Amino acid sequence: MSSIAYITDSTMLENHRLLRNKTMNFWRLSTNINFSDFGIGDLVFFLSKDRVHRRKGEKGIIGFGRLKELRVYSPSTMWRKYGKDNGYISKKSFEDALKKVSKDNKLPSKISSMYLTDVVFLQTPTYLSEYGMQISKQVESYIYLNDINVPFNILEYAKKAYDTWTSDENIVKSLDEEQIRLCLFTVQDQLQEISLNEKNRKDIYRKLKLYQKENPQYDFIAGTNLFLYYVKENVLKIVTSSNKAIDNRLIIGQACLYRYALWNKYPYDLDISFEVLDGEEINDIINKQFVI
């Protein structure tokens, strides 16, 4: 899983900023929604091509949001579904913007939608070169931010440079939680998943889906269907399920690896706890404090 930095229409972003939108429909002319390493829950950073946001010719990042849905629609359907969340105050201004960026100055029949939540705007831009990344002037759409340190440090910058007009009093806590999510996804990519046959994997997934239905604040960790997580402020809870095919030592080992990796990735205090459904006999063991 990766974050991306996307070159963005500054007029659209300014409309979202003025409306104080926390959600937005980030539309794209391309109908290709098959990203190689980007999906639901990942972050989209807004690269502004406006001259006022540039520094020595480099485009500045002026905000970001988290991907919730990726779909393809006709412009009419997109306006009907999202309205002003498209970044324009009327259907006509929305369609005019589409025509302006299309190659033949015509309204496209289909465009793609990246629906974003938890949108944050920055009061002053930040630049990828500050985080060791160089962006080519030839880039016309987006680039991947594969190194977790880049989005992590942009979020750190946002804690001091968020737009007070669009943000609420809990913004810093929300950014802390977003940093933890980033670390969690990265840790999952680095860990070797427990080996299970399809039947046992489906059994655990079914139990976790039932648990999630009763506890909707939990999400599956990206890249696995064996672990749910919930993060609030600096508390992270990870839930899995026992299965007769899994040796309890594997679950304990996996929990230790998660805890060790997360403590190394997240440089602040983080209270990590685990729960194994139907595994009361190992919950005490799995949550014992230990020194690394």
Residue 267, pLDDT score: 85
CB contact burial 177-211 (16+ within 10 A = b; e otherwise):
bbbbbbbbbbbbeebeebebeeeebebbeebbeeb
Residue 1 confidence class, pLDDT cut points 50, 70, 90? low
Residue 3 to residues 41, 158, 173, 224, 225, Cα–Cα distance (Å):
9, 16, 20, 18, 21
Position 200 scores a pLDDT of: 79
Domains of the chain: 3-167 (2.30.130.30), 185-286 (no CATH)
- What confidence score (pLDDT) does residue 245 get? 63
Answer left, alpha or beta for residue 10, where phi above 0 means left and psi between -120 and 50 means alpha.
alpha
Question: Residues 153, 178: contact at Cβ < 8 Å?
Answer: no
The pLDDT of residue 160: 95
Can you give the pLDDT at residue 292?
44
Residues 6+ apart with CB under 8 A from 200: 243, 245, 246
Rounded CA gap, 173 and 77, in Å?
36
pLDDT in tens, 70-116: 999 999 999 999 998 998 889 999 999 899 888 788 899 999 999 99
